[in-house]
A and B are shown apart, each in its own frame.
Chain A
Amino acid sequence: MNTSALILMLSAIVGITAVTGYFFIKVLRTKPKDEPDSYTDNDGQPR
């Protein structure tokens, strides 16, 4: 591959993957809100 194509491709892939991962991990790590919240799976679980 030529250099400019390679740089652009890798920057886009790394950048987008990193931001996607960052927000997804943030969702996973954020503490759920107090009940009653919008989600039923965690009803009755201790906070």
Chain B
Amino acid sequence: MNQTNQAWGSRIGLILAMAGNAVGFGNFLRFPVQAIQNGGGAFIIPYLVSFLILGLPLLFIEWSIGRYGGSRGFHSTPLMMQSMDRRRMWKYVGVFGLFCNIGIASYYCYLESWTLAYIFHSATGTFNGMNQHQVVQLFSDYVSIGKTTLIPFEPIVFFLICLGINVYILSKGLSGGVEKVAKIGMPLLILFGIILAIRAVTLKSGVDGAVYDSSVGLNFLWTPHFDSIYNPKVWFAAASQIFFTLSLGMGSIHAYSSYLKRKDDIALNAMSAGWMNEFVEVVLGGAIIIPIAVGYLGIDRVKELAAMGGLGLGFKTIPYLFSQWGHVIGAVAGVMWFGLLFFAGITSSLAMGTPVQGFLEDEFKWSRRKTALAFGGIILILGLPTILFFNQGVFDEYDYWTGSFALFVFAAFEAVLFAWFFGIKKGWEEINTGADIRVSRIFRFLIMWVTPVLLIIVFLGAVFTPVGNDWAAAFHGLFQGQGWIFDHGSVVGKLMNSGLKEQLASATDPGLIADIKYRILLTNLSRLLLVALFVGISLIVRKAYYKHKREGTI
């Protein structure tokens, strides 16, 4: 069995690290946008239902698989999952637990580096005196490598700094690095969140340039449109949000819990970390960006900005709005906002490094320092294309395949493995072993039937999403003999590059045509790179598996 000298320092440290793993940019930028686009206040109903029937059961499953695998000496998902059932496919399913973390970290570290850069710009007063267009332009210049902002090659400089910080912390080990950062970062994140939320909900029209009271924004966010509950699209959005916010289907929760001994609790830990994430998302995430943005820009403009996603609001709009509060308060608010996002980001990216380190340590007996450097090297190589070709969609391509598609595939498989192959009897015993709370038997039923089936449905929904996400019209059209038209965002649509091909077909300008063709080329190349990554990890895992077979340790 693989021995590790890694351990958690304290239970609180583990829970904060797990909550930090879950809390990310999405808590502050994605959740409020999803809510306003999917029924306002009524969104909380499908959202919380999804948390109870999808989120919590999956948290129990992932914590259990992790502790089970860890007790057999495995600290990453490939051999962890293989140890649960004799069928040889599971180690390849488990590869997703390394692939997702590497793939996501490759673009996530870049995103994280934006927050560092924006802390720097907020503190140095870059946004002072800028109008909204100039703030938007600064962001566009930042992500376009050729254009200089303040520092030459600024995005690469901040990416390298950010990656260096991650590697340094990871090299310090679990209790000496990851846990210490979580113990500092999470309380600071919550403190910054509370301060900004208080400022946001006390916004008054006519003060500091605000046009509307905060109540207008809160009304916009929370007014329930109950008819939306009957729309499957809203339920799909809620389930997806729960999935992303809890960092499910990645393999990082498994890695963290693999350092627990079998007699120690996972049930209460999972509940505590999961609900802490919900607190940050609903209570803090729902109280900052929308009230502030609506207070200054009005509902119609915020609707337009939200349609382009939460990142636009967070990086292109908020710095300008903070600058309306005066130089000092604006700078402090900017540092807090981007500091909060930085802590949300780094506690997640560290969780992405841990399974990779666990695998390298288990299989190659590498030191923590060496595994951290290896992780940094891989992320540097895979992350550079997302920086250099950001405007050509490479970043989005990584995000789609590793940060969405692969997560659903992995989660569906792990739920099926746990409930149907490992067996619900053993699985239930695993969840309850050492438990400090009594887990309701309803979860046994949910884990057995509801969660796997729901995940398979959600996955199929992502593969076959009809145009406009309008399922009723799609089925109607199908029965009328008009066929099934895939949405550009569906897995099938993505694979066929249907969105880009449509743009190409309608383009007349030669420059634009060449640009779209270049985008298609880079999109296909980035997919090839990701496939090569998956195959490469699979080959290493295969070798490791046969080594364990020979040694009789699996």
From the candidates B215, B278, B436, name the one contacting A20 in the complex (CB within 8 A): B278
* Interface pair A8/B222, CB less than 8 Å apart: yes
Q: What residue in chain A is nearest B70 (Cβ atoms)?
A: A38
**Could you tell me the distance between the alpha carbons of A23 and B259 in the complex, rounded to whole angstroms?**
22
**Could you tell me the distance between the alpha carbons of A41 and B269 in the complex, rounded to whole angstroms?**
17
* Interface pair B275/A16, CB less than 8 Å apart: yes
List the B side residues contacting A40 at CB < 8 Å.
7-9, 175
* Interface pair B215/A27, CB less than 8 Å apart: no
**Could you tell me the distance between the alpha carbons of A23 and B268 in the complex, rounded to whole angstroms?**
7
Query: Which B residues from 1 to 59 make CB contacts under 8 A with A?
Result: 7-15, 40-42, 44, 48
Q: Does B271 contact A (CB under 8 A)?
A: yes
Q: Which 10 A-B pairs have the closest CB atoms?
A: A5-B222, A8-B41, A23-B272, A20-B279, A9-B222, A20-B275, A5-B223, A41-B9, A41-B10, A38-B260
From the candidates B8, B48, B223, B263, name the one contacting A39 in the complex (CB within 8 A): B8
Q: Does B319 contact A (CB under 8 A)?
A: no
Task: Return A15 CB to nearest CB of chain B, in Å.
Answer: 9
Task: Return A47 CB to nearest CB of chain B, in Å.
Answer: 14
Q: What residue in chain A is nearest B15 (Cβ atoms)?
A: A27
Interface 1/0s, chain A 18-47, versus B by CB < 8 A? 011001101110101100111111100000
**Could you tell me the distance between the alpha carbons of A32 and B259 in the complex, rounded to whole angstroms?**
16
Q: What residue in chain A is nearest B215 (Cβ atoms)?
A: A1
**Could you tell me the distance between the alpha carbons of A6 and B41 in the complex, rounded to whole angstroms?**
9
Interface size class of A (residues with CB under 8 A): 20 to 34
The answer to whether A37 and B261 touch (CB under 8 A), given A1-B219, A4-B224, A23-B268, is yes
List the A side residues contacting B8 at CB < 8 Å.
38-40
* Interface pair A36/B261, CB less than 8 Å apart: yes
Interface 1/0s, chain B 265-302, versus A by CB < 8 A? 10011011001101100110010000000000000000
**Could you tell me the distance between the alpha carbons of A24 and B283 in the complex, rounded to whole angstroms?**
16
Query: Which B residues from 398 to 429 make CB contacts under 8 A with A?
Result: none
B-to-A contact residues, CB < 8 Å: 7-15, 40-42, 44, 48, 175, 215, 218-219, 221-224, 259-261, 263-265, 268-269, 271-272, 275-276, 278-279, 282-283, 286, 434, 436-437
* Interface pair A24/B276, CB less than 8 Å apart: yes
From the candidates B41, B175, B434, name the one contacting A33 in the complex (CB within 8 A): B434
* Interface pair A5/B41, CB less than 8 Å apart: yes
**Could you tell me the distance between the alpha carbons of A6 and B224 in the complex, rounded to whole angstroms?**
10
Q: What residue in chain A is nearest B41 (Cβ atoms)?
A: A8
The answer to whether A32 and B282 touch (CB under 8 A), given A2-B219, A4-B224, A23-B275, is no
* Interface pair A8/B7, CB less than 8 Å apart: no
From the candidates B7, B10, B15, B222, name the one contacting A6 in the complex (CB within 8 A): B222
Majority SS at the chain B contact face = helix
List the A side residues contacting B14 at CB < 8 Å.
38-39
From the candidates A5, A27, A32, A39, name the one contacting B9 in the complex (CB within 8 A): A39
List the B side residues contacting A28 at CB < 8 Å.
12
List the A side residues contacting B283 at CB < 8 Å.
12-13, 16-17
From the candidates B12, B219, B271, name the one contacting A23 in the complex (CB within 8 A): B271
List the A side residues contacting B261 at CB < 8 Å.
36-38
**Could you tell me the distance between the alpha carbons of A12 and B265 in the complex, rounded to whole angstroms?**
28
* Interface pair A33/B264, CB less than 8 Å apart: yes
* Interface pair A27/B259, CB less than 8 Å apart: no
* Interface pair B7/A4, CB less than 8 Å apart: no
Task: Return B32 CB to nearest CB of chain A, in Å.
Answer: 12
List the B side residues contacting A23 at CB < 8 Å.
268, 271-272, 275
**Could you tell me the distance between the alpha carbons of A39 and B496 in the complex, rounded to whole angstroms?**
50
List the B side residues contacting A19 at CB < 8 Å.
275, 278
**Could you tell me the distance between the alpha carbons of A32 and B276 in the complex, rounded to whole angstroms?**
21
The answer to whether A27 and B279 touch (CB under 8 A), given A5-B219, A38-B259, is no
List the A side residues contacting B11 at CB < 8 Å.
27, 32, 39
* Interface pair A24/B272, CB less than 8 Å apart: yes
Q: What residue in chain A is nearest B262 (Cβ atoms)?
A: A38
List the A side residues contacting B44 at CB < 8 Å.
8, 12
* Interface pair A30/B268, CB less than 8 Å apart: yes
List the A side residues contacting B223 at CB < 8 Å.
2, 4-5
Task: Return B490 CB to nearest CB of chain A, in Å.
Answer: 32
**Could you tell me the distance between the alpha carbons of A1 and B294 in the complex, rounded to whole angstroms?**
14
**Could you tell me the distance between the alpha carbons of A2 and B261 in the complex, rounded to whole angstroms?**
51
The answer to whether A12 and B436 touch (CB under 8 A), given A24-B272, A39-B10, is no
* Interface pair A20/B276, CB less than 8 Å apart: yes
**Could you tell me the distance between the alpha carbons of A17 and B323 in the complex, rounded to whole angstroms?**
31
- 7 A-B pairs besides A1-B222, A28-B12 with CB distance below 8 A are A1-B218, A5-B221, A16-B283, A23-B275, A40-B175, A41-B9, A41-B175
**Could you tell me the distance between the alpha carbons of A23 and B221 in the complex, rounded to whole angstroms?**
28
List the B side residues contacting A2 at CB < 8 Å.
219, 223
* Interface pair B218/A5, CB less than 8 Å apart: yes
List the A side residues contacting B9 at CB < 8 Å.
39-41
Task: Return A24 CB to nearest CB of chain B, in Å.
Answer: 5
Q: What residue in chain A is nearest B45 (Cβ atoms)?
A: A8
